A and B are shown apart, each in its own frame.
Chain A
Amino acid sequence: MNKATFSAFIAGLIFSFGLLLSGMANPEKVLGFLDLFGAWDPSLMLVMGGAIAVGLPTFALAKKRQSAVLGGPMQLPGKRALDKRLVLGSLAFGIGWGLAGFCPGPGIVASGALQPGALAFTLAMVTGMLGFRLLERRSN
C-alpha cells in the first residue's frame, strides 16, 4: 500500500468517526432534523457548521496550491453549470434522503456497523449508481 492509499484510508476513518459522533449515521436523528414542521432537532445544522468552519480556510489554501502534500495534483472540481441534471438529481437525492434518513456516507458507515437496513439501502444505492452508469453509456 502506498502513502496516498493509506492517507485516503485515514481520511475515510476520521470521516466515519465524525458521522458516528455527530449523529449523522443515525437515520432517526437525521429525520428529526428534516422534520422542520414537527418536533425539530436542529443539531445537524451544527454538523454542517462545524465541517464548513474547517473547510473554508482549508479550501482557500488548497486553491492556492498546485499539488497536494503527498505529491499528486490538486484536483478541485471545475464544473460551473447550474443545469437540469444538477437540480433534478439533487431533488431525487433529497427525496431518497427524506424517505430513509440516509445519505451516501452514513449508509456506508451504518453498513460497516452491520445494520441490515443500512446494507439494504447501500446495496440499492450501488444499484442506482450502476444504473446511472448504464444510462450514461447508452446516451453517449
Chain B
Amino acid sequence: MNIDWNAFTPGSALAGGLLIGLASAWLILMNGRVAGISGILGGLLNNEGSNRGWQLAFILGLLAGPGVWALFHVLPAIEIRASYPVLIAAGLLVGIGTRYAAGCTSGHGVCGLSRLSPRSLAATMTFMFGGFATVYVVRHLLGA
C-alpha cells in the first residue's frame, strides 16, 4: 500500500466527520429519525404523507449548506472529473442500489454501524468493496 501523504487531511476529515456525527445525533435525538440520506430522499419521492415536511426540510438543509457556507468562507474544492455519461450511469446505479439496500454511506455506514447493526456492517463492507473494486478496474486495469 502506497499512502499519498500530501493528499492526507486528517484535521478537516476528523472535524467534518464529527459534524456529520453531530447532525445524525441531532436528527435521531430531536426528531427520532435516522439520518439516512437515500432513505430520506427515497421517502420524499414516495410521497409518504406525514413525513413529507421533515424529509423535505432535511434535503433543503443539505442543498442550502454550500450557500450558507459561502457567506462566511470560501467553499472547499469540488472536483468532478467523470464525464456526463459516467455521472448519469453512476447516479442510476446509486439511486437503485441504495433503495434496494435500504441505505447508503450515511444510513448504513454512519448510523447503522453506530447502532452496531450486523445488516449495516454487511452493507457497508459490500459497498466499500464495490467502490474499491470499481476504482481498481477503472484506474489500474482500464487505465482511465
Contact = CB atoms under 8 A, between A and B. Distances in A.
Interface of A: 1-2, 4-29, 31-32, 34-56, 58-59, 61-63, 67-70, 72-77, 79-82, 85-105, 107-113, 115, 117-118, 120-133
A85 to B, nearest CB: 5
Interface of B: 1-4, 7-10, 12-35, 37-38, 41-42, 45-46, 53-55, 57-69, 75-82, 84, 86-102, 104-106, 108-115, 117-119, 122-124, 126-136, 138-140
B7 to A, nearest CB: 4
A138 B32 CA distance: 31
A37 B134 contact: no
Nearest to B91: A124
20 contacts: A10-B26, A20-B76, A21-B15, A21-B19, A21-B76, A31-B135, A38-B139, A43-B12, A48-B110, A58-B28, A72-B33, A74-B28, A77-B102, A92-B97, A98-B130, A100-B82, A100-B87, A104-B98, A129-B98, A129-B99
Contacts of B29: 58, 61-62, 68-69
Contacts of A43: 7-10, 12-13
Highest count of chain B CB atoms <10 Å: which of A43, A69, A102: A43
Highest count of chain A CB atoms <10 Å: which of B9, B16, B26, B110: B16
Nearest to A71: B32
A89 to B, nearest CB: 3
Contacts of A42: 3, 8
